[in-house]
Structure 1
Amino acid sequence: MQPRKLASFWLLAPVVLLMLGALYQLNSSSPDLETSAPATTETIRLTVSAAASLQTAMEALDPTFASAHPTIEVNYNFAASGTLQRQIEQGATVDLFISAAPKHMDALQGKNLILKDTRRNLLSNSLVLVVPQDSTLKIREFRQLTDPAVKRISLGEPRSVPAGQYGVEVFTNLGILPQLKPKFVYGNSVRNVLSTVESGNADAGIVYATDAQISAQVTTVTTAPADLHTPIVYPIAVMAASVHPEAAQIYSKFLTSKAAQNVFSQYGFSPSE
């Protein structure tokens, strides 16, 4: 090799070595870059069975919860509390249950179907007498339902619809239940009762104040005195068979938050004492 070519080789050698070293470091660092990449977060689908009277308020809360917990998708099953209770007893996959009466939650708790230490009282409500908005009947209080002019009274089926159960208590304590029974038109949920009155297929109906509030097609005649019926309380609990108990508790805690309670109050609910 000539002296000039030899000198050029030795001048280029360090550059070549630096390039080879850089390539080696880049290749060796690639696995670390791959392992540090964020994993894809899967959506948790939560099943919530809730009393029919809660539907409008809970659906209004969806955007707030979704914004705070984007990986938790809440799927609702709204129906009469007794119906939901039976579904859970028969093995339905439910993460969280909200009843419109303690007795349905008590039944599940007695069968160890509730996750320990997750039960709490969420809300309270009141019971009202409603008539169609265009009614010509001069009904002003519950005792007037005995009037022969009142032919049909819509009431939730007492064994499965808590509002119906509370209504029977009111009529019993007023001493007018036997006179009213022949007039009853039973509904399978409190919203079904409301629809029956709205359509004019009943002269009057017994619903929650929260249901009457969302309807422009009924008029609230009077509110049942609290001492005429069992306190209307909505208990909430995570189910023992919940597929996502942690997410269910997150949602349960959200419903008791100040922000959620403010929304519930807008729909006529009160915090449970």
Structure 2
Amino acid sequence: MPSNQFIQRILILLGVSLVLAACAPSGPTGPVIFAASSLQAPLDELAENWTSLGNREPVLSYASSTALARQIENGSLADLYISADEQWIDYIVTAGKIDPDGIRTLAGNSIVLATSRDGPHAKLYETIPTTAAILEGVTVTSGDPDSVPLGRYAKEILVAEGIWDDIGRRMIRTSSSSAALRLVLLKEADFGVLYASDVERRDDLVSYPAFAKGLHSPIRYKAVLLPSSGHPEAGEFLDYIASDEAAAVFAKYGFTLP
């Protein structure tokens, strides 16, 4: 039977261990990345690849470029900001007095008109020649033009097509590109004006050819290291997602080269 002295020593050691465990820091995290929601698929893969190389796992936060810019403006701390809208990257650079030479272009994108592959509208473009005729009397979704870059691109296209006054009044406006995609997938909207990258790899959606060609501003995803960043790996992660290796991952998910 153990002596009282032995038991006391064990209790002391256990107490010291508990104190040390309580004082020990939590596991280190990687840089915090604020990124446009349309980038989730490639960035998730790139973050996984980055972590597999022995780096700390990045903390990824996705939302519309506008919402993320507002969060940064209101004091939310992040290391990198990646925008689908050049206007907001320029805004952040100007407001933060960031050197414009630090902006990195990661990828490009385009806009498509998409619908469910097994729905009643999947082959309309074969018999109906104009966008106006295709969208007559149906539900259409896209991002909110007032707050979501996707919506702004959609509005540019529909204005150029001469049908914004009609479609704009009845369009289901969403808070992000992923929300607009979800409505089409759930068939709560007949059509979505969506990013090509959100549609290209899906078997359950079909996009109409020749829609929106040259009718919207160029879409370029740009990233910048924020002044609030103090993470030692933030700059290295930015270099990584701007590399040729990363460009191949973006291309795999339907994005165009920068």
- Per the normalisation by structure 1, the TM-score is 0.78
Residues 43, 71 of structure 1: 8 Å contact kept? no
**Alpha-carbon distance in structure 1 between the residues aligned to 2:115 and 2:188:** 10
Q: Does 2:204 match 1:220?
A: no
Taking a change above 3 Å as real, the CA distance of residues 113 and 131 of structure 1, as seen in their structure-2 partners, is: farther
For 1:55, which of 11, 19, 40 is the aligned residue? 40
In the other structure, the counterpart of 1:264 is 250
Taking a change above 3 Å as real, the CA distance of residues 96 and 49 of structure 1, as seen in their structure-2 partners, is: same
**Alpha-carbon distance in structure 1 between the residues aligned to 2:66 and 2:59:** 19
Q: How far 1:71 sits from its partner (Å)? A: 3.7
In the other structure, the counterpart of 1:185 is 172
Q: How far 1:116 sits from its partner (Å)? A: 5.8
In the other structure, the counterpart of 1:100 is 84
In the other structure, the counterpart of 1:248 is 234
In the other structure, the counterpart of 1:28 is none
Count of residues paired in the alignment: 228
Q: How far 1:122 sits from its partner (Å)? A: 1.3
**Alpha-carbon distance in structure 1 between the residues aligned to 2:244 and 2:100:** 24
Instruction: Note the residue ranges of structure 2 that are not aligned, 5 or more in a row.
Output: 1-26
What does 1:160-199 align with in structure 2 at a 5 Å threshold?
A: 160-199=147-186
**Alpha-carbon distance in structure 1 between the residues aligned to 2:171 and 2:100:** 39
What secondary structure sits across from 1:123 in the alignment? strand
**Alpha-carbon distance in structure 1 between the residues aligned to 2:74 and 2:84:** 20
What does 1:1-273 align with in structure 2 at a 5 Å threshold?
A: 43-68=28-53, 70-112=54-96, 114=98, 117-137=101-121, 138-140=123-125, 142-148=131-137, 150=138, 152-244=139-231, 246-272=232-258
Residues 102, 225 of structure 2: 8 Å contact kept? yes
What secondary structure sits across from 1:158 in the alignment? coil
What secondary structure sits across from 2:102 in the alignment? coil
Q: Greater shift after overlay, 218-227 or 231-240?
A: 218-227
Residues 50, 79 of structure 1: 8 Å contact kept? yes
The percent of aligned pairs where both chains have the same amino acid is 30
Taking a change above 3 Å as real, the CA distance of residues 113 and 89 of structure 1, as seen in their structure-2 partners, is: farther
Residues 45, 73 of structure 1: 8 Å contact kept? yes
Q: How far 1:44 sits from its partner (Å)? A: 4.6
Residues 98, 237 of structure 1: 8 Å contact kept? yes
Residues 145, 180 of structure 1: 8 Å contact kept? no
Q: How far 1:109 sits from its partner (Å)? A: 1.4
**Alpha-carbon distance in structure 2 between the residues aligned to 1:235 and 1:226:** 22
Residues 115, 240 of structure 1: 8 Å contact kept? no
**Alpha-carbon distance in structure 2 between the residues aligned to 1:128 and 1:54:** 16
**Alpha-carbon distance in structure 1 between the residues aligned to 2:81 and 2:105:** 12
What secondary structure sits across from 2:208 in the alignment? strand
RMSD: 1.9
In the other structure, the counterpart of 1:33 is none
Instruction: Note the residue ranges of structure 1 that are not aligned, 5 or more in a row.
Output: 1-41
Residues 50, 57 of structure 2: 8 Å contact kept? no
**Alpha-carbon distance in structure 2 between the residues aligned to 1:116 and 1:241:** 16
**Alpha-carbon distance in structure 2 between the residues aligned to 1:83 and 1:122:** 20
Residues 48, 57 of structure 2: 8 Å contact kept? no
Residues 173, 228 of structure 1: 8 Å contact kept? yes
